[in-house]
């Protein structure tokens, strides 16, 4: 763990934490004595995806902890898809909470994309550690699986099945013409800026994170959604009506898997990258939700 002097929880700021020999980078910002909000990014991004939203939470007196998750932090890239199963990803976040001096205190968790899946799993498995949960874009895992069988979700999620293949996805992604890649991704992620798209693609292709990031998908067979308990903590689920990867059915089914207080909102005219495309709207929803 790397730390610097501070006040409030634990008397320190952290810039990294260690779990089972893996070292994770963390952006620890906002009032040191504020209530803690853990921000979990998805594919193919890093903690930088929260740069627009986090300051809005800081102004509301929240402290944010945004890790570069397993496979994205350069010193936390274990080999093999089994290392990226959901239980390991949840364990990483619990280690972060402890390292930040929050053990014994409930924290708020906000996740986007794959980070939302981790947030759902944490809320279901460790309600003793979670004050509230917020999922952006991705429905409850069991609702998502259900949607695969009764809607167009399987067609919308074709890439998840493609990513299960060994080697071929890496070869095709690395073979993309760099000048064309942002335009291809822009069509998939309606509304995202080209600057941010290039940032994420450059990181994915040039940092060594490509195979580890794909291993999150390849570990899906080790994550049976039926094992998740119902979510009992206060829950906010925010989706968007221009997301090309996620349909309405999973969103509609999610209510079945939340038994605690539940708020659902759809953002109109917004694509997949909600934390950056709708930071102010999400911050407004969070200020109310985190008051639970």
The string of DSSP letters for 23-81 reads EEEEEEES-TTSEEEEEE--TT--GGGGTTTHHHHHTTTEEEEEE--TTTSTT---SSG
Distance CA 91, CA 74 (A): 18
pLDDT tops 70 at residue 130: yes
- Which residues pair with residue 66 across a beta bridge? 27
What's the average model confidence in pLDDT over 231-254? 96
Place of tokens 């095709």: 172
Q: What percent of the chain has pLDDT over 70?
A: 91
Distance CA 290, CA 131 (A): 8
What's the average model confidence in pLDDT over 141-162? 95
The three-class DSSP label of residue 61 is coil
The three-class DSSP label of residue 255 is helix
pLDDT tops 50 at residue 11: no
**pLDDT tens by residue, 30-84:** 999 999 999 999 999 999 999 999 999 999 999 999 999 999 999 999 999 999 9
Both tokens assigned to 283: 């911050």
Q: How far is CA 209 from CA 24, 71, 78, 218, in A?
A: 13, 6, 11, 14
What sign results for the dihedral spanned by CA atoms 180, 162, 87, 245? Answer: positive
Nearest CA-CA partner of 73 in 8, 16, 31: 16
Both tokens assigned to 29: 């910002």
Architecture of the domain delimited by 2-289 = 3-Layer(aba) Sandwich (3.40)
- Which residues pair with residue 235 across a beta bridge? 133, 262
What's the average model confidence in pLDDT over 174-189? 55
């Amino acid at each position: 763990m790397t730390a610097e002097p501070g006040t409030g929880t634990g008397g320190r700021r952290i810039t990294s934490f260690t779990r089972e020999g893996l070292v994770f980078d963390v952006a620890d910002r906002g009032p040191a004595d504020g209530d803690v909000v853990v921000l979990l990014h998805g594919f193919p991004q890093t903690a930088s995806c929260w740069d627009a939203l986090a300051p809005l939470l800081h102004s509301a007196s929240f402290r944010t902890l945004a890790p570069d998750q397993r496979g994205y932090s350069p010193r936390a890239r274990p080999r093999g898809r089994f290392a990226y199963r959901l239980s390991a990803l949840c364990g990483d976040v619990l280690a972060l909470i402890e390292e930040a001096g929050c053990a014994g205190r409930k924290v708020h968790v906000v996740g986007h994309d794959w980070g939302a899946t981790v947030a759902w799993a944490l809320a279901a498995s460790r309600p003793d550690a979670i004050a509230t949960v917020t999922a952006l874009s991705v429905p409850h895992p069991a609702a998502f699986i259900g949607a695969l069988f009764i809607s167009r979700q399987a067609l919308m999620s074709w890439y998840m099945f493609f990513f299960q293949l060994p080697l071929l996805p890496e070869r095709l992604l690395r073979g993309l013409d760099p000048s064309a890649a942002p335009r291809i991704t822009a069509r998939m992620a309606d509304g995202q800026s080209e600057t941010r798209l290039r940032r994420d693609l450059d990181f994915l292709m040039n940092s060594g994170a490509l195979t580890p990031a794909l291993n999150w998908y390849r570990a899906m067979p080790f994550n049976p959604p039926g094992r998740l308990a119902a979510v009992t903590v206060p829950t906010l689920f925010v989706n968007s009506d221009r997301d090309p990867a996620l349909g309405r059915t999973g969103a509609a089914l999610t209510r079945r898997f939340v038994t605690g207080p539940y708020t659902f909102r759809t953002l109109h005219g917004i694509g997949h990258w909600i934390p950056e495309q709708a930071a102010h709207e999400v911050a407004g929803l969070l200020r109310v939700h985190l008051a639970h």
